Amino acid sequence: MKTEITKLIHKLNSVLQGTPWYNEPLIHKLESIDYKIANITPTGLNYSVARLVKHMINWRRFAIDKIEGKNQYYIELNSADDWPAINITSNEDWITLKKELVETHVTFFNLLQEKDDQFLEQTVQGREYNFYYLINGITEHDIYHSGQVAVVSRLAKLYLSDVEK
């Protein structure tokens, strides 16, 4: 049976490029952001849009690794692997980062399409939770950081417009 995994796949896809209930999908937000603001970390905040995107990519890679049964990709919370430094210096860099997000999404999506609901009950190797918890967590993680992307990008635009005056 594929009832639950189908629901998770739909939610995951909705966040990135579908029609989420709360507003626009993440990819639309990212497409509206100029590369010049991707590195700006607004005062009082911890991360730039580019770092948020790279962070989401890394957690997708983590999930892909676990679904493939590898257990080679490890992320220590709040480490450089969790929040990698990144510097977007051109529009090409920005396009490449967004492309990386989409590519990891497609890989994740395709792997999940091959699974059924029984897979969701399996324990993730090296963890104390199952695949349902992991996949649902990635979806919630993306929603959370999608909201942060919206806030950080708005504040970064304000900062850039003040600097350019």
- Cα–Cα distance for residue pair 90/26, rounded to 1 Å: 21
Q: Which two tokens stand for residue 116?
A: 């059924």
pLDDT per residue as tens digits for the range 116-145: 999 999 999 989 999 999 999 999 999 999
Q: Which two tokens stand for residue 102?
A: 């989409």
Q: How many CA atoms lie within 13 A of 63 on its CB side?
A: 29
- Cα–Cα distance for residue pair 24/56, rounded to 1 Å: 17
Homologous superfamily (CATH) for 3-164? dinb family like domain (1.20.120.450)
pLDDT per residue as tens digits for the range 6-33: 999 999 999 998 888 888 899 999 999 9
